[in-house]
Chains A and B, each alone.
Chain A
Amino acid sequence: AQKITQTQPGMFVQEKEAVTLDCTYDTSDPSYGLFWYKQPSSGEMIFLIYQGSYDQQNATEGRYSLNFQKARKSANLVISASQLGDSAMYFCAMRELNAGNNRKLIWGLGTSLAVNP
């Protein structure tokens, strides 16, 4: 069964330092996509980064990078040079790509990140 696990309910990081948010996943579909979204206190989910299961390189988007380890089924988000505005909930999500017209995302429970000045 498809599942996303985020084991860190809360994380703290000092401003300007890097932080890694963990995500492991489970799927029997060999073709899948992994996503990270940020949810500030305003409630609006914001797309951060995407990694396809067949992508050869780890995805990067500005200060965000995804440490994709396929054999371990992990897709950790790395935020470099943390900023105060990075304080938010962070969700890992997955979509199985071989399931016909499936557009459904399966989400983890999220990790709350607090950036300290």
Chain B
Amino acid sequence: DTGVSQDPRHKITKRGQNVTFRCDPISEHNRLYWYRQTLGQGPEFLTYFQNEAQLEKSRLLSDRFSAERPKGSFSTLEIQRTEQGDSAMYLCASSLEQTPGEKLFFGSGTQLSVL
């Protein structure tokens, strides 16, 4: 069990540039989540996949955000035309349980800074 890994750990970009983050979940986990966390706040839900299907997407997510999980394994989160307000920690989590007490396993996150 290697845990959830996210790449890169840190990303600094200029406003207007596109960025892409990758998440590798725990291998047998079929559910994958993206959350965003800004300083002093709890995480905010962005989107969720079951296998390769994107089943839920937050209304917070503008059209500049897109997420994929093409083969039901790793996932990518792309932000187009980044804005300073996109600066945050982007957290990925995965799970296997299909119970109400579903336990999420989180990665260490990708810290995005938009200058």
Contacts and interface: CB of A to CB of B under 8 A. Distances in A.
Interface residues of B, number: 27
A68 interface: no
A113 to B, nearest CB: 15
Interface string B29-58: 001010100001111110010000001101
B42 A44 contact: no
Contacts of B89: 43
Given A45-B93, A101-B55, A4 B108 contact: no
Given A46-B106, A50-B101, A97-B100, A102 B56 contact: yes
A37 B104 CA distance: 9
Contacts of A44: 106-109
Contacts of A42: 108
Contacts of B103: 47, 50
Contacts of B43: 45, 91, 105, 107
11 contacts: A44-B107, A45-B43, A45-B106, A93-B42, A97-B100, A104-B56, A105-B45, A105-B104, A106-B45, A107-B43, A110-B42
Contact of A91 (B42, B101, B111): B42
Contacts, number: 63
Contacts of B31: 103
A109 interface: yes
A54 B48 CA distance: 26
Contact of A33 (B41, B45, B56, B101): B101
B107 A4 contact: no
In this complex, the member of A33, A45, A110 whose beta carbon has the largest number of chain B beta carbons within 10 angstroms is A45
Nearest to A110: B42
B56 A103 contact: yes
